[in-house]
A and B are shown apart, each in its own frame.
Chain A
């Protein structure tokens, strides 16, 4: 487990260099990714389904990304794309094509299903956290406006 988490950190740190992330964000991106990978591993250990564990892991990384983005005044994508990198279904896309070529249609459709589930869950988790933050800030703004009126 520790090896896996360290692996996630190294993988995302180096991949962020490949994706040309600004230097000051590299450590944060790696940490977000290892936290989200830890969440994913914990949920799969308790035999939550693939979709649910992906959802929770993405939600955690999206939440941290939003907080960091506010603090660093950077777009959320800076942290989000590296943060979800270990969860992203790149390998499964390759497996679909590979099994289609091998005429192993049952496996191909299995991986297609898995890919769509994971990609969809990642997107949904990002949307949920996004809307949560939007609602929070709208309420905060409304409250501060009300206070301004009273004084």
Chain B
């Protein structure tokens, strides 16, 4: 018993000493404030995560995260970003490395998030705001919505109509595309609420859209430019920006992210094309020889 007690206290003393050492190293005086390096790593990771899931290029994410980590003034501030995951680590000669990793599942385009994260990281690097405040603001950013969903949906319909005009269609084609875009909205709502697989939803929605376009082309007295209508109405789903980002990542030398994004873009396009091919086949079978 005595022996055990002795052992425990000994361990505790060692433990407390260890804690004190780490405490001394982790928290240092910095512009009259206490910097928590763990929080700094968390903040940088969160910033990178938000940027990556908002559709920023990989090299931009790496640059921003590294700038934020350099606030710690450690010897080694490293980050490794691919389009599906992100790793951060900082190390100094007198401190164990602090590192974290995170995988990113949802990817969409959200320019406001890129803008605000960029702004915050710039302010942090100029010591205008503290690490705690940056972390708080980043977490607020995750829950913020700039536009009302109804406005976004209305804009989806308008953009489908406008893109149909850009593809060289006339006014009636444009109206049909606007009607089709309602199904794009439905697919977005389903994706947000039910969390169904992206591929399946896209396929189903495109199938319905293609059938409807066939119906319209039979019903309406004038002839429809079917290809332009379909291409215009799926415009909000198409991976154009992903493809351009993929090319930029590849040309800048980041081949892993580049190929991943190429494949992502092609899978999305394939899901749309499968749905549309199926829909057109059904429409052809029902109404006979439109195409």
Q: Flag whether A148 is at the interface (Cβ < 8 A).
A: no
Q: Which residues of B contact A8 (CB under 8 A)?
A: 162, 166
Q: Are A22 and B146 in contact (CB under 8 A)?
A: yes
How does the 8 Å CB contact mask read for A69-102 relative to B, with 1 for contact and 0 for none? 0000011011001101110111101111110111
Known: A4-B166, A7-B165, A20-B146. A89 touches B112 (CB 8 A): no
Q: Which residues of B contact A97 (CB under 8 A)?
A: 266, 269-270, 272-274
Q: Are A93 and B239 in contact (CB under 8 A)?
A: yes
Q: Which residues of B contact A101 (CB under 8 A)?
A: 273-274, 277
Complex Cα–Cα for A78 and B60 (A)? 13
Q: Chain B: interface residue count, which band? A: 35 or more
| B31-39, B92-100, B153-161: which lies at the interface | B153-161
Residue of B nearest to A11 (CB): B162
Q: Are A15 and B159 in contact (CB under 8 A)?
A: yes
CB distance from B258 to the nearest CB of A (A): 10
Report which residue of B155, B167, B269 has the largest number of chain A beta carbons within 10 angstroms of its beta carbon.
Answer: B269
Q: Are A96 and B155 in contact (CB under 8 A)?
A: no
Within 8 A of B (CB), among A99-151: 100-102, 115, 119-120, 122-124, 126-127
Within 8 A of A (CB), among B233-250: 234-236, 238-241, 243-244, 246-248
Within 8 A of A (CB), among B142-193: 146-147, 151-152, 155-156, 158-159, 161-163, 165-167
B-side interface mostly: helix
Known: A84-B244, A123-B248. A21 touches B112 (CB 8 A): yes
Q: Which residues of B contact A102 (CB under 8 A)?
A: 277
Which residues on B are within 8 Å of A, measured CB to CB? 56-57, 60, 109-115, 118, 146-147, 151-152, 155-156, 158-159, 161-163, 165-167, 231, 234-236, 238-241, 243-244, 246-248, 251, 265-266, 268-270, 272-274, 276-277
- 29 residue pairs of the A-B complex, CB under 8 angstroms, read A3-B165, A10-B161, A11-B165, A14-B159, A15-B155, A16-B111, A19-B110, A21-B111, A74-B118, A77-B57, A77-B114, A78-B111, A88-B243, A89-B240, A90-B235, A90-B243, A91-B167, A91-B235, A91-B240, A94-B234, A94-B272, A96-B273, A97-B269, A97-B270, A97-B272, A101-B277, A119-B247, A120-B247, A123-B244
